[in-house]
Amino acid sequence: MQPVVAIVVAAGSGSRLGGEVPKALRELAGRPLVSHSLEHLAAGGVDRVVLVIAAGLAADFAPAIAGSPIPTSWVAGGAERQDSVLAGLAAIAADPELSGCRFVLVHDAARALVPPEVVDRVVQALVAGAVAAIPVVPVVDTIREVTPSGSATVDRSRLRVVQTPQGFRREVLVNGHRLVRESGLQVTDDAAVIEALGEPVTLVEGSREALKVTEPLDLLFAEAIVRSRP
């Protein structure tokens, strides 16, 4: 089987989380968030990682890369998430060992505790023929939509919260990002890039433990999850 390559986006500053280091380098249980992400991706079946970081921070990320359980290279990201994913895709295409890979996962370093079984479900969906596969969890809160006349309750049974890693056939993801860039569309995740091409997106079961560390409270929840694990 061809290698499964993950692009791990870690170029964000983490202004809402605070601290003096980039969010991906904030410590969780004594280790950077990105280090946890690399470990869980490897345990879920990822063979190689391209880490996308902010320009000028290679030395800061070097210890996490050196401690990765799978081969990990890095590339500088861009101003927007779309630019960072494109930089990761370009790095894959330029690497002779990776340029033939069929499947690419895109993961947020801030989802440091994604269970390996979630990663595996994404990979297996691609192997089974999915063009794109993303992990989701049901919405548990009551949601109201603001309308011109007030607000209205939304049927939450039809809603899902989207997580990462999101998996794709590489050539389709490349084509999607090319279309998005040329058309000037702004998207919030890579599944939307695939939908812009008119391609289907397959949903797989996610996990509440794969929370995204965005604010200080999220880091407290993540610490609790780590303590609860064997």
pLDDT digits (tens, 9 = 90+) for 19-57: 667 889 999 999 999 999 999 999 999 999 999 999 999
Model pLDDT, residue 65: 92
Is residue 83 classed exposed, middle or buried when 0-12, 13-18 and 19+ CB atoms within 10 A define those classes?
Answer: middle
What's the rounded mean pLDDT across residues 151-172?
A: 96
Confidence of residue 14 (pLDDT cuts 50, 70, 90): low
Q: pTM score > 0.85 for this model?
A: yes
Model pLDDT, residue 133: 98
pLDDT digits (tens, 9 = 90+) for 58-72: 999 999 999 999 999
CATH number for the domain spanning 200: value is 3.90.550.10
Confidence of residue 4 (pLDDT cuts 50, 70, 90): very high
Q: Has residue 18 got a pLDDT over 90?
A: no
Domain count, the chain: 1
What's the rounded mean pLDDT across residues 130-136?
A: 98
Question: Which domain, by its residues, includes 126?
Answer: 4-228
Model pLDDT, residue 184: 87
What's the rounded mean pLDDT across residues 131-148?
A: 96
pLDDT digits (tens, 9 = 90+) for 99-131: 889 999 999 999 999 999 999 999 999 999 999
Q: CB–CB of 173/194 below 8 Å?
A: yes
What's the rounded mean pLDDT across residues 139-166?
A: 96
Q: Has residue 193 got a pLDDT over 90?
A: yes
